[in-house]
Amino acid sequence: MKILSRFSLLLLGLIMLSSAFAEDDCKEITSSTQVDHCAELAMKKADSQLNTRYHELMARLETQYKRDLQLGPAYAVKVKEAQRAWVKLRDTNCAVEAFEIEADKPAYATAVNNCITRMSQERSVELDRIAPSATACPSIDFADFLASFSERVDVQKAFVQRPLQLVTTAAGDPEPEMNKNTLSDDQIKFPLIPDRARREADGLTLTVKEQQGNTATALLQKPDTDYVFEYRFVRGQCWVLREVMDYSL
């Protein structure tokens, strides 16, 4: 039986989308009513993600310009003005896209929602590119890099490959089956590796399993149990996590 610590529950959540998105309901579309419903859910999810990206940007500005009491606030004001103008543009543009559909028809709302979803997702990417966090590579030495990576969420966010590969183990006959999932940015839940305090509280150990050239593997496990995770890194200008292997059953 899989040992479920708080961290394992968190990592299992990597492959789950928000419950509000109702993934099961929208996985297979079988009716026009379902199309309309799922378009609305997708719009709400994209709008929520956009709101999160906006607040993350404002937090970055506050951090990066905290020593400049004139430029920082002025930058924040410009960002707020730009975002308000963009929201007005988005809503007007989406009304134009759906203009030829009768406004009282469900298809009109669906067309508007699809447009808002697309534009909000594009805007989220744009906001991420404004004043990006300049997290430096902790170390080219893998052991030192891993020590920083496991302790700092900002380092994890900066040095994780997108999309991230997650391989999980499922019971099979006669051998366990390996299922590979590709995780987009909004599906990756941090921290991917718990910090030292959490590991000690949960009885977990983190070690370097192997390192060969520009590849390295770290092992997170709970001794004498089947709780085992492998983290596979590759090195370019810095080390980057490209795959997580969950061998727990």
- Rounded to two decimals, the pTM is 0.50
Does residue 14 form part of some domain? no
pLDDT at 132 over 90: no
If asked whether residues 120 and 146 sit together in one domain, one would say no
Contacts of 239 (CB under 8 A, 6+ apart): 137, 140, 142, 145, 146, 149, 159, 216, 233
> Total structural domains in the chain?
2
pLDDT for 224? 92
176 — pLDDT class (breaks 50, 70, 90): confident
pLDDT for 4? 42
If asked whether residues 171 and 223 sit together in one domain, one would say yes
If asked whether residues 121 and 161 sit together in one domain, one would say no
Provide the domain limits for residue 233.
142-246
Q: Which two tokens stand for residue 135?
A: 């997290």
Q: How far apart are CA 35 and CA 51, in angstroms?
A: 24
Instruction: State the alpha helices, DSSP H only, in 65-166.
Output: 71-97, 106-128, 142-151, 153-158
pLDDT at 11 over 60: no
- Number of Cβ atoms within 10 Å of the Cβ of 159: 19
If asked whether residues 173 and 241 sit together in one domain, one would say yes
The CATH number covering residue 234 comes to 3.10.450.410
If asked whether residues 122 and 150 sit together in one domain, one would say no
Residue 230, phi-psi category: left (phi > 0), alpha (psi -120 to 50), beta (remainder): beta
Q: Which amino acid is at 226?
A: D
Residue pLDDT, tens place only, 28-40: 777 778 888 999 9
Higher pLDDT, 186 or 145: 145
User: For 172-184, b where at least 16 C-beta lie within 10 A, e where not — what string?
Assistant: eeeeeeeeeeebe
pLDDT for 6? 44
If asked whether residues 122 and 174 sit together in one domain, one would say no
Q: Pick the closest to residue 159 from 190, 196, 182, 122 (CA basis).
A: 190
- CA 214 to chain CA mean position, Å: 25
If asked whether residues 177 and 103 sit together in one domain, one would say no
Q: How far apart are CA 193 and CA 88, in angstroms?
A: 40
Does residue 187 form part of some domain? yes
| Domain's final residue, options 129, 158, 174 | 129
- Number of Cβ atoms within 10 Å of the Cβ of 113: 22
| Domain's final residue, options 71, 103, 129 | 129
Residue pLDDT, tens place only, 147-166: 999 999 989 988 999 899 99
Q: Which two tokens stand for residue 63?
A: 């951090």
Does residue 70 form part of some domain? yes
